Amino acid sequence: MNFFHQMGWALVLTLAAAASAVGQPVKVGAGGYFTAPKGSDKAPPRAPGRTAAMLAQAAPTNQWYSSLIFFPNKPEALFPHPLTVKAGAAGFEMALASKEIVPTERRDVEVHYPHRDAIAFTPVAFEPEPAKLAKVSDWAIDISMARGADELLATVSHASPFTYFRLSRGDVRIKLPAPAERLNAAADPRALSFGIKGKTYAVFGPTG
């Protein structure tokens, strides 16, 4: 009898340990969630590409910028449109995408807007570490390229033709993918406009 009694307790403890490993349900309003993956479900991937403030919040998955938080060391292009952007070793890249019609083996076509012929913005005073997501809103994100107290912060807005940069100190280097033609050279010295490969860009600097 004692043997079966002990077996029963062992079974109860085993089931309790298994339930603990799976995670407990937490009810929230009409729904809820489990504190750990349930059954054969896998744990969500880590999202290290976030600043300390963003790590204190839930990871924004399934967004147009989500690859930034999952693969900070292998950056991919983001497509806020009409611009494409990419935060990589060459600096913060920005380009105006053009539509390309690509035939496929299925005898149909695909519509592509590749990240190509990008302009790179790089801080001169420091070499930033891999980019991190610093802030999100309904329409815009902040991308931080920092090293210690130094930071290049880029604000990218969905469906906006502008990208905004803030630099903690020093100058910024602008690298072009090909020779460009300067436009309106006699205009405001805080503005630099140029044409490159059939597209026109403008860079606006602060006073001083």
Count other Cβ atoms within 10 Å, centred on residue 197.
14
pLDDT at 2: 55
What is this structure's pTM?
Answer: 0.79
Within 36-173, residue ranges assigned H as helices are 52-55, 66-70
pLDDT at 33: 83
DSSP-derived 3-state class of residue 38:
coil
Count other Cβ atoms within 10 Å, centred on residue 41.
11
Q: Average pLDDT for consecutive 10-residue bins of the chain (208 residues)?
A: 49 46 80 83 87 93 93 93 91 94 92 95 94 96 96 96 94 94 85 94 88
pLDDT at 184: 85
pLDDT at 185: 77
